[in-house]
Amino acid sequence: MKTRRDFIKISALGIGGVTLAGTSLKWAWGSGAGDPGPENVADLPSLSRYPTYCEVCFWKCAGWVYHDEEGKIRKVIGNDADPHCNGRLCPRGTGGVGMYHDPDRLKTPLIRIEEGGKQTFREASWEEALDLVAGKMKQIRDKYGPESMALFNHGSSGTYFGNLLKAYGSVNITAPSYAQCRGPREVGFELTFGSGLGSPEPTDIRDTRCLVLIGSHLGENMHNGQVQEMSDAIDRGATIITVDPRFSTAASKSKFWLPIKPSTDMALLLAWMNVLIYEGLYDKDYVQRHTLGFEQLKSHVEKMTPEWAYGITTIKPHIIRETARAMANAAPSVIVHPGRHVTWYGDDTQRSRAIAILNALLGSWGRRGGFYFKESLHIPDFPHPPFPKPAWTWKETLNGKYPLARLSVANAIVDASIPGEGKEHTIRGWIVSGTNLPMTMPQKDQLLKAMQALELLVVVDTMPMEITGFADVVLPECTYFERYDELRDSPGREPWLGLRMPAARPAYETKPAWWMAKQLGDRLGLSEYFNYNDYKEVIEWQLGQLGTSLEEMQKIGVKRFDRTEGSLYMDESLPVEFNTNSGKIELYSTELASLGFDPIPVYTPHPEPPQGFYRLIYGRAPMHTFSRTANNPNLVDLMKENSVWIHPSVAEIWGLKKDQYVWLKNQDGMVSYFPVKVRLTERIRWDSVYMVHGFGHRDKKLSLAYGRGANDSDLITNVMVDPLMGGTGMRGNFVTILTEDPGKEVKS
């Protein structure tokens, strides 16, 4: 195991430096058959098709995996019975097979060593790699206590490593999908309605008459069932209102496109409230029966007229009025969509609150065509002893910051991993599973400092992502086509159960995450928490408890259950109690007031771009899920690099041509590592540039993704942290354009 000093030495080269170490790797193809079909696997049943649910994003569409005549996995299609996809996978889901066939996959465990004064990896057996990780975890437990280990996760593997951490004695379990993505909306809606949204969000787009998208680009953000419902709603004549500085795919389907000045959405939301209230368009009966604080809200927004908002947002007053009336006309079958990636400006919980309040004024919560009451199955836990109670948790590391963080805040775990004077609690070891932190977390300097200081960094992944370059030990996970995973029980209109089973033996020397967690548990003396030999046993037991069986689920893939928790929409004949302090929908938040925060959202101006700089906006493409898929051969065929969208008037100033490669430099002097192609388009405001996130990989082991496009997260150095829940607002970064290769000037 390398020492702390060695780690500092390698990271001094920057992320690219670690890549250099990685390039000396020679992959072993292991003793496995390489690309085996089911005929090689004694314990896999011979089925004509194998049920799965997709892991390319986390919408979890259910599908069927097929082999060709030689027994090789060739195709995955949607399961007709599944409400997440209705039999149609999105391009990424269909192309997911590329993950299985990708020749760049991690193939065998790796251990960092020093060779001739250089850091590199060497191949290792599972026995050796797991012994090393368990031994180091024991040392950390003995020296600092088990709470000093943390888990960063995204996806199915988090369940198993989460259980391992809890059994070991730590609940410092975090996912960037909270504080770097949708956490603020969960808190904002919970403060208002007493219930968060979860995933999939319970938007009743199927029956809506008006859908309002604020910086949420459904269609490019290809969450399957939601996009299908939006398409059907458009066919039925629903009004779509899109608020976005960019003419997105959703904007092109909209009756109204509001090209708002970035960072001013709160002013628009407050002006919409003003129109609804002062034109008497809000749902008076709903507001009177179910809400608290209407009079305070009314007086709060009195002066926030469309004319007031025009000067801030650049949206004309008559458009603000017209769109507010369109919402009111459709109410209560209207959805002001809560969005998904909402960590923008640091006041994101408050902006999500404003969205929730607007929905409350329209009476859409708990109404057909608005938001339904979701329900999921309660899958029983496989029996195990109670988890030990940790002596401290991530909450203590916050020192009173972020009082409304309901889940662990990934950036706070990073901060807690940087030793410092007077710090009571310090994290000493990480397991990172399924999340590529260098491309996910802003504030790279903090991330690097934390990783330099760690005594153990274990990375579990299917691909050699940038994070693997920092690992002490790399554990290669098999793809979702090659493993059982926990049953899918995501919430929806009814409870649905989904099965994922292996359609092939794990290729090379890869293993399922459940197996790794169990092996580590056994080595750490925690076998009683992993009381099975194969995860199939867990699934069979759970299915039996739910009144079904593995045999049945292998045939049908997904199974619907009846609702048991009341109706899909609010029963107007019954009294309703919301899970807030007051039992009402809180337009005025009693919890925020008691904590000393604004009980009703206020508009705060955010910094403007300096002269010659443009606001950096980033988003998604329908054929990629961020950096996870950038090397997938099938999806690279559809989109191999990102481009930077620039308005022609800006291009003229800079003398830019279509498809010219440029570098971007941000307000702190950070320069994109690779050049990015210019896309000249009037679909973006002149004061902003846009790029798809997830490109610009620096790991040469990703042979298709390396050097393709630019990585926006390199340019996100200014982070505005949400004081309520710790979300990292990342839209306050500005870039200028470099037409010459900056060479040595590159600071990244």
Q: Residue with structure tokens 């593995």?
A: 550
Residue 121 pairs in a beta bridge with 112
Q: Does 56 bind ligand SF4 (CB under 6 A)?
A: yes
Q: How far is the CB of 89 from ligand SF4 (least distance, A)?
A: 4
Q: Does 218 bind ligand SF4 (CB under 6 A)?
A: no
Pick the binder of ligand SF4 from 130, 191, 222, 520 (CB under 6 A). Answer: 222
* Pairing of β 149-153 and β 473-476: unpaired
Pick the binder of ligand SF4 from 52, 170, 224, 736 (CB under 6 A). Answer: 224
| Contact indicator for 482, 506 with CB cutoff of 8 Å | yes
Single out the residue of 246, 305, 238, 294 nearest to residue 270, CA to CA: 305
* Distance in angstroms (rounded) separating the CA atoms of residues 13 and 600: 47
Q: Which stretch binds ligand SF4 (CB under 6 A): 49-57, 176-184, 206-214, 578-586?
A: 49-57
Q: Which stretch binds ligand SF4 (CB under 6 A): 51-59, 139-147, 275-283, 402-410?
A: 51-59
Q: Does 59 bind ligand SF4 (CB under 6 A)?
A: yes
The angle subtended at Cα 550 by Cα 544 and Cα 552, nearest 5°, is 100
Give the residue with the Cβ less far from ligand SF4, 59 or 569. Answer: 59
Q: Does 719 bind ligand SF4 (CB under 6 A)?
A: no
Q: Which stretch binds ligand SF4 (CB under 6 A): 53-61, 302-310, 487-495, 704-712?
A: 53-61
Q: Does 639 bind ligand SF4 (CB under 6 A)?
A: no
Pick the binder of ligand SF4 from 18, 21, 89, 181 (CB under 6 A). Answer: 89
Q: Which stretch binds ligand SF4 (CB under 6 A): 218-226, 306-314, 402-410, 656-664?
A: 218-226
Instruction: Return the structure tokens found at 108.
Output: 């065998």
Give the residue with the Cβ less far from ligand SF4, 54 or 297. Answer: 54
Q: Does 21 bind ligand SF4 (CB under 6 A)?
A: no
Give the residue with the Cβ less far from ligand SF4, 80 or 127. Answer: 80
Give the residue with the Cβ less far from ligand SF4, 93 or 506. Answer: 93
Q: Which stretch binds ligand SF4 (CB under 6 A): 54-62, 147-155, 246-254, 651-659?
A: 54-62
* Distance in angstroms (rounded) separating the CA atoms of residues 599 and 196: 18
Q: Does 621 bind ligand SF4 (CB under 6 A)?
A: no
Q: Does 418 bind ligand SF4 (CB under 6 A)?
A: no
| Contact indicator for 416, 731 with CB cutoff of 8 Å | no
Single out the residue of 394, 409, 412, 430 nearest to residue 7, CA to CA: 430
| Contact indicator for 129, 508 with CB cutoff of 8 Å | no
Q: Does 427 bind ligand SF4 (CB under 6 A)?
A: no
Single out the residue of 179, 231, 220, 181 nearest to residue 201, CA to CA: 181
Give the residue with the Cβ less far from ligand SF4, 100 or 613. Answer: 100
Give the residue with the Cβ less far from ligand SF4, 57 or 334. Answer: 57
Instruction: Return the structure tokens found at 708.
Output: 């393709």
Single out the residue of 335, 360, 280, 363 nearest to residue 572, CA to CA: 363
Give the residue with the Cβ less far from ligand SF4, 223 or 353. Answer: 223
Q: How far is the CB of 298 from ligand SF4 (least distance, A)?
A: 41
Give the residue with the Cβ less far from ligand SF4, 344 or 496. Answer: 496
- Closest residue to bound ligand SF4 by CB: 93
| Contact indicator for 726, 408 with CB cutoff of 8 Å | no
Q: Does 90 bind ligand SF4 (CB under 6 A)?
A: yes
* Distance in angstroms (rounded) separating the CA atoms of residues 131 and 137: 10
Query: Quick one: CA dihedral 483, 485, 487, 491, positive or negative?
Result: negative
Query: Quick one: CA dihedral 374, 380, 384, 389, positive or negative?
Result: positive
Q: Does 402 bind ligand SF4 (CB under 6 A)?
A: no
Q: Does 112 bind ligand SF4 (CB under 6 A)?
A: no
- Within 530-569, the residues that bind ligand SF4 by CB under 6 A are none
Q: How far is the CB of 61 from ligand SF4 (least distance, A)?
A: 3
Q: How far is the CB of 626 from ligand SF4 (least distance, A)?
A: 11
Q: Which stretch binds ligand SF4 (CB under 6 A): 89-97, 362-370, 521-529, 568-576?
A: 89-97
Instruction: Return the structure tokens found at 200.
Output: 């999939």
* HEC profile of 601-664: CCCCCCCCCCCCCEEEEEECCCCCCHHHHCCCHHHHCCCCCCEEEECHHHHHHHCCCCCCEEEE
Q: Does 60 bind ligand SF4 (CB under 6 A)?
A: yes
Q: Which stretch binds ligand SF4 (CB under 6 A): 13-21, 221-229, 249-257, 466-474?
A: 221-229
Residue 566 pairs in a beta bridge with none
H/E stretch holding 448 reads helix 444-453
Does residue 436 sit in helix, strand or coil? coil
Q: How far is the CB of 106 from ligand SF4 (least distance, A)?
A: 21
Q: Does 92 bind ligand SF4 (CB under 6 A)?
A: yes
* Distance in angstroms (rounded) separating the CA atoms of residues 216 and 185: 13
H/E stretch holding 559 reads strand 558-560
Q: Residue with structure tokens 């609702």?
A: 563
Q: Does 223 bind ligand SF4 (CB under 6 A)?
A: yes
Q: Which stretch binds ligand SF4 (CB under 6 A): 216-224, 517-525, 643-651, 702-710?
A: 216-224
Q: Which stretch binds ligand SF4 (CB under 6 A): 85-93, 185-193, 714-722, 738-746?
A: 85-93
Single out the residue of 319, 303, 285, 301 nearest to residue 358, CA to CA: 301
Q: How far is the CB of 56 from ligand SF4 (least distance, A)?
A: 4
Q: Residues in contact with ligand SF4, total (CB under 6 A)?
A: 14
* Distance in angstroms (rounded) separating the CA atoms of residues 532 and 8: 40
Q: Does 301 bind ligand SF4 (CB under 6 A)?
A: no
Q: Which stretch binds ligand SF4 (CB under 6 A): 52-60, 310-318, 454-462, 599-607?
A: 52-60
Q: How far is the CB of 225 from ligand SF4 (least distance, A)?
A: 8
Q: Does 85 bind ligand SF4 (CB under 6 A)?
A: yes
Give the residue with the Cβ less far from ligand SF4, 346 or 622. Answer: 622
Q: Does 57 bind ligand SF4 (CB under 6 A)?
A: yes
Give the residue with the Cβ less far from ligand SF4, 224 or 239. Answer: 224
Q: DSSP assignment of 685-748, as one string?
A: -TTEEEEETT--B--TTSTTTBT-S--GGGG----EE-TTT--EE----EEEEE-S--GGG---
* HEC profile of 151-220: EEECCCHHHHHHHHHHHHCCCCEECHHHHHHHHHHHHHHHHHHCCCCCCCCCECHHHCCEEEEECCCECC
Q: Which stretch binds ligand SF4 (CB under 6 A): 35-43, 57-65, 244-252, 337-345?
A: 57-65
Q: Which residues of 638-653 are buried (b: 16+ CB within 10 A; e: fewer)?
A: ebebbbbbbbeebbee
Give the residue with the Cβ less far from ligand SF4, 203 or 350. Answer: 203
Pick the binder of ligand SF4 from 15, 61, 251, 507 (CB under 6 A). Answer: 61
Q: Which stretch binds ligand SF4 (CB under 6 A): 102-110, 219-227, 271-279, 709-717?
A: 219-227
Give the residue with the Cβ less far from ligand SF4, 65 or 357. Answer: 65
* Distance in angstroms (rounded) separating the CA atoms of residues 592 and 170: 30
Q: How far is the CB of 217 from ligand SF4 (least distance, A)?
A: 14
Pick the binder of ligand SF4 from 93, 332, 370, 675 (CB under 6 A). Answer: 93
* Distance in angstroms (rounded) separating the CA atoms of residues 646 and 682: 8
Q: Which stretch binds ligand SF4 (CB under 6 A): 90-98, 104-112, 139-147, 268-276?
A: 90-98
Binding site for ligand SF4 (CB under 6 A): 54, 56-57, 59-61, 85, 89-90, 92-93, 222-224
